[in-house]
Chains A and B, each alone.
Chain A
Amino acid sequence: MSLSILIIIPLLTALAVIFCRNAEQVKWTSLFGSVAQLAVSGVMFFQYNALRKAGEVAQFVFEEKHTWFSFMNINYHIGVDGIAIAMILLTAFVVVAGVLVSWNVSHLTKEFYLLLVLLSTGAYGFFISLDLFTMFFFLELAVIPKFLLIGIWGSGNKEYSAMKLALMLMGGSALVLMGLLIVYFGSAASCGAPTYNLIEIASHRLDFSTQMFAFPFLFAGFGVFTAMFPFHTWAPDGHSSAPTAASMFLAGISMKLGGYGCLRVAVYLLPDAAHEYSWIVVLLSAIAIFYGSFATMMQKDLKYINAYSSVSHCGFVLLGIGMLTKTAITGAVMQMVSHGLMTALFFAAIGMIYERTHTRQVEKLGGLLKVIPFLSTIFVIAGLCSLGLPGLSGFVAEMTVFQGAWQRPETFYRLATILGCLSIVVTAVYILRASGKVIMGPIVDEHHTHLSDARWNEKLASVILLLAILAIGTAPFWLTDLLNPGSELIMNQLTAR
């Protein structure tokens, strides 16, 4: 199949949305486009599995390459492996859910959906790129719409948040760009001529000094996207001001761009530097995990709770990457997928509750299970996934990270892993505290006694995400089978000194 279809469908959807005449048409067009995208991603997943079963050994399949800008050796070069497919599936699920959840956006509906679709185009393009410059192009494409989504449709202190988020992410991209340029010019020595071609750079290992020089830029740059400590403060403010779908995209997809970038570019292309710097990565991620969970405990706004908890959970992604073992890397990718789905579900639930109660303050909510049982159940399930209940995706991802992390016998890495294990207790504390107050207990506000439960679109959005979470949580073997060849290649790169 032609992989470009993953970019063409959202672009066509965007185009169609522009020509729609009313809000209903916009919504249905976007829904149709996103469902088509989900279907295509599903087909691609099965085709990929069939290819691998048939003995395909190429690292990336469905490769396509067209010259874009020959002077700088920039190509439109795309292809996928299992890791990319996992990320694409995640994106497709979150986009469908996000479109459904935004069904009653009434202000500038067309523009809202247009930006959502463009945002997803950026994400899809990023995950399939094999050319560093193309990759950067799509990364940028995914940043700009967020600024507008928060600035226009947001709530609360939205101008501040939108500005903060856009500036910090732009700062991150600037670092990434620096790193990419270092890699580009550094590749002249090993590859003969400077190139952005990911495969080529990987097969002719960059020299040590270039790696050491580029790694901090790339890692910190992508780290900003994945809300790595101490570059995480855009996340809480950004999430809390963003409209529901934007929060879902932001936490579900956008933070994963960073994790994916760290893995695919920083670790894969700069393996020797990754070894040298791994202790810093582990240190920062251990801080993020523990510090994020403690900071969560003090939050009073549901969106802030989930935002800080995302900082903590994305710490597991970086912890897995920083451990540099195959199991841990697989675990990191699983955590990206799992956290993407789970946090999207959580933000959706919070958004739906907010729409009805007009507050997100934990203090002002209570006993919702009695009034809106469906939404409350979704909220609790998302919470249970967050605290790592077996049967839901969070558990398998975290356990894979722990199991992989424990393979590093050095005391420092062990301590980081133990800290990670202990954080699951803190997670339980804040999740149960929030759901015990909001969902259970007596009803606090008498206005909350007559709320309407979820509508069809909200139910559908929740069920779609929930099914994906359960598919990973109850039968994780298909996901590890999908991811393992990819993480093995990264491992080969890391072990071939």
Chain B
Amino acid sequence: MSDSLALLLVPALPLAAFLLIFLVGRVYFPKFSGILGTVIMLATTVISMATAYKYFFVTGKVDGVYQHLIAFKFTWLPFSENVSIDMGAIMDPISMVMICVVTFISLMVHIYSLGYMKGEDRFAIYYSYLGLFTFSMLGLVLSTNIFQIYIFWELVGVSSFLLIGYYFDKPSAVAASKKAFIVTRFADAGFLIGILVLSYYTGTLDFETMIARLTVPGSELTAITTAGFLGVSALTWGLMLVFMGGAGKSAMFPLHIWLPDAMEGPTPVSALIHAATMVVAGVYLVARLFPIFAISCPVGLDVVAYIGVFSSMFAAIIACTQTDIKRVLAYSTMSQIGYMMFALGVAGYGGENGLGFTASFFHLFTHAMFKALLFLGAGAVIHYVHSNDMRDMGGLRKHMPVTHIAFLIACLAIAGVPGFAGFFSKEEILTAAHNSNPIIYWCAIATAALTAFYMFRLYFNIFWNKEYHAHHSDSHHGDDHHHGEAPWSMKAPLIILALLSIATGYIPFGNFVSSDGQALHSEFHLTSAILPVSLAIGAIIVAMLFYRKKNAVPDKIAGTIKGVYTGALHKFYIDELYLFVTKKLIFGIGGTIAAWFDKNVVDGVVNFSATVGENFSDTLKKMQNGKVQSYAMYFFTGVLGFVLLFVFLWDKF
């Protein structure tokens, strides 16, 4: 199979699945839709892995550098001579890694959902939406054109909206889906303006041309760096606005508020969209434009780094206090994406400086595995106890042994315990941070310790702590009260992902992904690993002391740091702040003024002129009253008026 055909099929198959199930399957074979979707996804996964294999190992490098190939490309919407939106597929290391991650996690979620979503009313719709999402996400990572990425960006946004609002009769789910869409839409408005700025100066929307024109000195680069607004160059404006879009999708502070609420969606969806794939789109976007950031706009890269590290730490603190297990995982996702962001932020272009770039993608890869596993494991737990709250759980290790072990592996991986995948990628990020910026490095170390703590707080609360007793089900899942741990369709993905949460760490990632396409051999320093590892293990021990057996210590600690604790519990009141600013200030006041103005001023003038017209005609009507005397009076008044007028005008001429 040729590359272009393969890369056409990769997004086309999930799209076909969406159309087939949405238009036909929903009505005629709703039960079979899940299997159909899964089989199509399996085919897609095989094709993308084969394509990636071919790209990395058969086509290989030319002069030691992985090539950027365009599998296919056609003009979709021409704007002017040179500027057009193209649809195409790019082949380079990051896009190849991404299609593997996306299709693989999507496949796992497809399989898992066969068990998890069984018996749902809108089972077929669910699978059609999964197809739509996978299509959009694959289109996004294969984009050759910055506007193409924007198009698929919006499409993943809407699929996420549809899936968060899957339980559409639940007001909280509707509210969460709206919030997710609107917050990311706001970020996307920035993205759009950023695209306009960049395309205006470069005269292209094509990634390759744009990168070439903005990294090599030339008239475009001079124009965009000399033009400015409010003392900031147009290049920085453009990149920062584009990054705003990325920050929105990737839930970076202060645009993160939608992510925790998005957990209202079905848990497998959270695993796919809100943990492993869509939320890393922002990282992917920065990586796609990385040469421009690194070569021409280091200031922009600094912003990326600081926002990343702040979000990372901020989310980790909040995660320590949440009791909804999916929300803990959501904040943890935000924190880990912050890691990937600042890894990009501290990287430079080419050679050893590009370590952060490699590390970021390495972490994206391993994180996809263990975070999907965490969510799917949490899903199994929720499926079993019919609650999201960790206070309703405890002692589940005896009830669900497979989930327990898988979850433990994922926790060890994310905590960065040696031997597990997260350790390797996190070490690489910490090394990159250490080499470039001490502030970021120390914040990252602190975050690593917090991560280990809150993950094991979660783990011990679910699987240890108090004993679990037979549950009282009030959920819509539950007709079978005495079901076992989980069906095999759910356990199999857990086992596969658990194995990969260990194995993926041993991939020599620098050989495949680097900032300039050349192999990067990062050597591993044992000394630099000592500090984070010992902190992580220390944090795990603390979590064990706190939560393994139910005791009063955690509450006491929370009491002593009351201010911080309450703040973190309420997510530092960011939501309330936003609600106030948007609902009360902007939409409330703005909307009320606009509506009032329209009703009273604009329409008032219209109605007023109508009234004047009516009165005027009324007056005219009354004049024609048939009385000769009044006609005579009008006549003589008129004559007198004219006489006066003429006398007056006579003087002038």
Q: Which residues of A contact B (CB under 8 A)?
A: 164, 167-168, 229-230, 232-234, 291, 294-295, 297-299, 326-327, 367, 369-370, 384, 387-391, 395-396, 399-400, 402-404, 406-407, 409, 417-418, 421-422, 424-426, 428-429, 432-433, 436, 439-443, 475-477, 480, 484
Contacts and interface: CB of A to CB of B under 8 A. Distances in A.
Given A424-B185, A428-B182, A440 B151 contact: no
A406 B196 contact: yes
15 contacts: A229-B602, A297-B587, A299-B595, A326-B80, A395-B151, A402-B196, A406-B196, A407-B200, A409-B200, A418-B193, A433-B178, A439-B168, A443-B169, A476-B76, A477-B78
Contacts of A421: 189, 192-193, 196
B83 A403 contact: yes
Contacts of B150: 390
B169 A442 contact: yes
A487 to B, nearest CB: 11
Interface in B188-220: 189, 192-193, 196-197, 199-200
Given A391-B155, A440-B169, A442-B169, A400 B79 contact: yes
A294 B605 CA distance: 20
B467 interface: no
B155 A390 contact: yes
B171 interface: yes
Interface string B576-591: 0000000000010011
A441 B598 contact: no
B610 interface: yes
Nearest to A442: B169
A294 B154 contact: no
Contact of A425 (B165, B169, B189, B598): B189
B199 A403 contact: yes
B76 A403 contact: no
Contacts of B189: 421-422, 424-425
Given A295-B594, A432-B182, 19 more contacts: A164-B606, A164-B610, A291-B594, A298-B594, A367-B168, A395-B151, A402-B196, A406-B196, A406-B197, A421-B193, A424-B192, A428-B182, A429-B182, A436-B174, A440-B165, A477-B76, A477-B78, A480-B77, A484-B78
B158 interface: yes
Nearest to B607: A164
A390 to B, nearest CB: 4
Contact of A440 (B174, B587, B592): B174
A48 B590 CA distance: 47
Contacts of A426: 587
Given A298-B595, A417-B196, A425 B186 contact: yes
B619 interface: no
Given A406-B200, A424-B189, A432 B178 contact: yes
B603 interface: yes
A233 B603 contact: yes
Contacts of B199: 403, 406
A167 B610 contact: yes
A196 to B, nearest CB: 31
Most chain A Cβ neighbours within 10 Å, of B197, B593, B597, B598: B598
A295 B606 contact: no
A383 B4 CA distance: 35
A279 B306 CA distance: 41
Contact of B79 (A327, A390, A395, A409): A327
A421 B152 CA distance: 18
Contacts of B80: 326-327, 407
Contacts of A442: 169, 171
A323 B508 CA distance: 53
A52 B152 CA distance: 33
A279 to B, nearest CB: 20
A230 B602 contact: yes
A413 to B, nearest CB: 12
A412 to B, nearest CB: 13
Contacts of A399: 77, 85, 147
Nearest to A391: B155
Contacts of B606: 164, 168, 233-234
B76 A295 contact: no
B595 A233 contact: no
A230 B592 CA distance: 17
A477 B169 contact: no
A315 to B, nearest CB: 13
Contacts of A229: 602
Contact of B192 (A402, A428, A475): A402
Most chain A Cβ neighbours within 10 Å, of B154, B592, B610: B154
A396 B595 CA distance: 29
Interface in B152-196: 152, 154-155, 158, 165, 168-169, 171, 174-175, 177-178, 181-182, 185-186, 189, 192-193, 196
A369 B168 contact: yes
Nearest to A479: B77
Contacts of B78: 477, 480, 484
A479 to B, nearest CB: 9
Nearest to A437: B174
B75 interface: yes
Most chain B Cβ neighbours within 10 Å, of A167, A407, A409, A429: A429
Contacts of B83: 403
A436 B80 CA distance: 38
A476 B78 CA distance: 9
Contact of B158 (A164, A326, A389, A477): A389
Nearest to B153: A390
A139 B168 CA distance: 46
A233 B598 contact: yes
